[in-house]
Structure 1
């Protein structure tokens, strides 16, 4: 993977974060421009009641949108991030990040193109969370996270957190989908049986 990275990223320090470890917390200052090279980082906010709302994930080859925004605006993080699995990232210190923006057209293009693309994805997710029905949000998430066998490894509680709903509501909708033959519910996972029908719900 590292050989495919731009020089300015490949030359940055490599940081390893173990599964479950915090990458940053709400109120922290952004100290490095981060680009994940392996693993997965979940970025989320907390409601006043303490419920998690997942904003997005950072996969290999992607940068953290909030980190970029905080570095550009010199502001603190408004959300939190944890490594979902053992993860590795390249870290460009904030001072070096500012220098590269001034000195390197290639770096500027990389940063702003990545930022723009991820921001569009986040806005689409936000629209789904706020405006879409539970069925539509649930169907979209199942399709997005299903593995090659059509299986999503998640509890009803996990699914509720991901789509910004309550566990009881998600359970009710999943059972309705199961009764229609669209999915099969198993302990800790959901198997999609009729992908076309689930797709039609989105």
Structure 2
């Protein structure tokens, strides 16, 4: 995904890019790094809506630009970030005139809605055991180590820290994981995948 007339944005991990009620400064194109978009409820509980990587669309930003409204969630640079910010007018012009660019954007938005469908299923239809197993597999990518605190996992699963701690203890008792401070090792990805409803292929 390439757009001209953008300005470069480089920032360290932990930088807040936007907050609820902020105006949208432009369309974000991630070149490297990762953005975490989350929502905080009135009771203070936070849940991760999605992450934005290279080639992906920030649905919050897209909606704000198309509907001319303000942000309703928070965007945080989860890693060191190299991105491009395209001014709203330039973005709208490109969307209107460039069919290939428009198709790329709309396909990316469609994929993002699929992520939201999974989030709704996780929170509304899945038991917590399955939600935590999915979060661990997602954060570990293809590896065995998850570098995350219990608070972080609570945000990932839309739950409380105590609930996460109890379930991790149960996973450890069943020899699925081992835990140390800020670090979780996956001992049995296959069984975790079965719990998550995501059976792993042979060799994984």
Matches within 5 A, 1:120-139: 120-139=114-133
Partner of 2:72: 78
CA contact (8 A) 1:25 1:81 kept: yes
Aligned counterparts of 1:18 and 1:151: Cα–Cα separation in 2: 23
Aligned counterparts of 1:133 and 1:189: Cα–Cα separation in 2: 23
Query: How high is the TM-score relative to the length of structure 1?
Result: 0.92
Q: Which runs of 5+ in 1 are unaligned?
A: none
Aligned counterparts of 1:188 and 1:167: Cα–Cα separation in 2: 13
Matches within 5 A, 1:116-195: 116-195=110-189
Alpha-carbon offset, residue 28 of structure 1:
1.2
Aligned counterparts of 1:67 and 1:92: Cα–Cα separation in 2: 11
Identify the match of residue 55 of structure 1 among 29, 34, 49.
Answer: 49
Partner of 1:43: 37
Partner of 2:58: 64
123-132 vs 37-46, which moves further: 123-132
Secondary structure of 1:201's counterpart equals: helix
> After superposition, what is the alpha-carbon deviation per residue over 1:114-144, rounded to whole angstroms, capped at 9, x for unaligned?
1111111122122212221110000001111
Secondary structure of 1:36's counterpart equals: strand
Aligned counterparts of 1:126 and 1:17: Cα–Cα separation in 2: 31
Q: 1:123–1:148: structure 2 CA closer, same or farther, 3 Å change rule?
A: closer
Q: Segments of 4+ in structure 1 off by > 2 A?
A: none
CA contact (8 A) 1:17 1:23 kept: no
Aligned counterparts of 1:92 and 1:119: Cα–Cα separation in 2: 22
Alpha-carbon offset, residue 147 of structure 1:
4.8
Identify the match of residue 108 of structure 1 among 102, 108, 111.
Answer: 102
Aligned counterparts of 1:126 and 1:196: Cα–Cα separation in 2: 24
